[in-house]
Every structure is written in structure tokens, then in C-alpha cells.
């Protein structure tokens, strides 16, 4: 039997468990993104204007810089597919006084 230095790639399936509260999702209409050398922080917020201004952090996701780049690539690909099916998305310059992330 010949020994090889290359790892053998196998098709491995991973079972993902979904908790009901997480599976239903959260609504976010504002995202703040920051970073350090080691991580990117994605804060998903819900901002309500009426009846009174109110904001709430609904989720914070912390990822490595490499994973942030993979997320960016996946989002770009999915937006491209969305626009092919539903038409071009137009972004406003400002949303209720908050700067949009572009």
C-alpha cells in the first residue's frame, strides 16, 4: 500500500439542528458593521419610528475576516440572482437619517 501526503477528501454530511426560536428568524432594518484585526462584528438592529422612536439590537454575529469575505461573496451572488429574477434593486442615499451601508 502506497502512503500519500495528500489528505483524502470525503463527502461528509453535517446534520444542522434548528431550534424553533432561531428558525423563525428576526427582522432587521439596519446593520452596523465594525472590525478589528481579528474579527468583523455585524450588529443587526430594528429601528422603529412610530409611535415613538425606538431601536433594539436583535442579533450580533462575530466572524473572522476570511469568513466575512466569504459572506460578502455569497451576498453579492445572491443579490445578482435576485435581480435577474425580480429586477434591479435601487438604493436610496439615506434612510431616515441613517447612512446606508454601500
Residue 35 belongs to a domain:
yes
**What is the distance between the alpha carbons of residues 87 and 76, in angstroms, rounded to a whole number?**
15
Residue 36 belongs to a domain:
yes
Number of separate domains in the chain = 1
Contact 39, 47 (CB under 8 A): no
Instruction: Kindly report the pTM of this predicted structure.
Output: 0.72
Supply the range of the domain harboring residue 74: 28-90
- What pLDDT was estimated at residue 91? 85
Average pLDDT over residues 87-97: 75
DSSP 8-state symbol, 78? H
Residue 1 belongs to a domain:
no
Residue 13 belongs to a domain:
no
Residue 33 belongs to a domain:
yes
Higher-scoring residue by pLDDT: 9, 47: 47
- 75 three-state secondary structure: helix
Using H for helix, E for strand and C for coil, what is the string for 27-57? CCCEEEEEECCCCEEEEEEEEECCCCCEEEE
Residue 23 belongs to a domain:
no
Residue 102 belongs to a domain:
no
Which tens digit of pLDDT belongs to each residue from 28-79?
999 999 999 999 999 999 999 889 999 999 999 999 999 999 999 999 999 9
Model confidence at 10, pLDDT cuts 50, 70, 90, reads: confident
- What pLDDT was estimated at residue 4? 58
**C-alpha dihedral sign at 100, 83, 71, 19:** positive
Does the pLDDT of residue 100 top 50, yes or no? no
Q: How many CA atoms lie within 13 A of 95 on its CB side?
A: 13
- What pLDDT was estimated at residue 99? 47
- Which positions ≥6 away from 77 have C-beta within 8 Å? none
Amino acid at each position: 500500500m502506497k502512503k500519500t501526503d495528500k489528505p483524502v477528501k470525503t463527502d461528509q454530511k453535517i446534520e444542522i439542528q434548528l431550534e424553533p426560536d432561531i428558525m423563525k428568524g428576526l427582522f432587521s432594518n439596519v446593520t452596523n458593521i465594525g472590525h478589528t484585526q481579528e474579527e468583523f462584528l455585524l450588529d443587526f438592529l430594528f429601528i422603529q419610528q412610530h409611535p415613538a422612536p425606538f431601536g433594539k439590537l436583535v442579533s450580533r454575529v462575530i466572524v473572522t475576516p476570511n469568513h466575512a469575505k466569504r459572506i460578502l461573496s455569497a451576498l453579492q451572488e445572491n443579490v445578482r440572482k435576485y435581480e435577474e429574477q425580480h429586477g434591479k434593486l435601487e438604493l436610496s442615499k439615506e434612510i431616515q437619517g441613517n447612512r446606508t451601508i454601500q
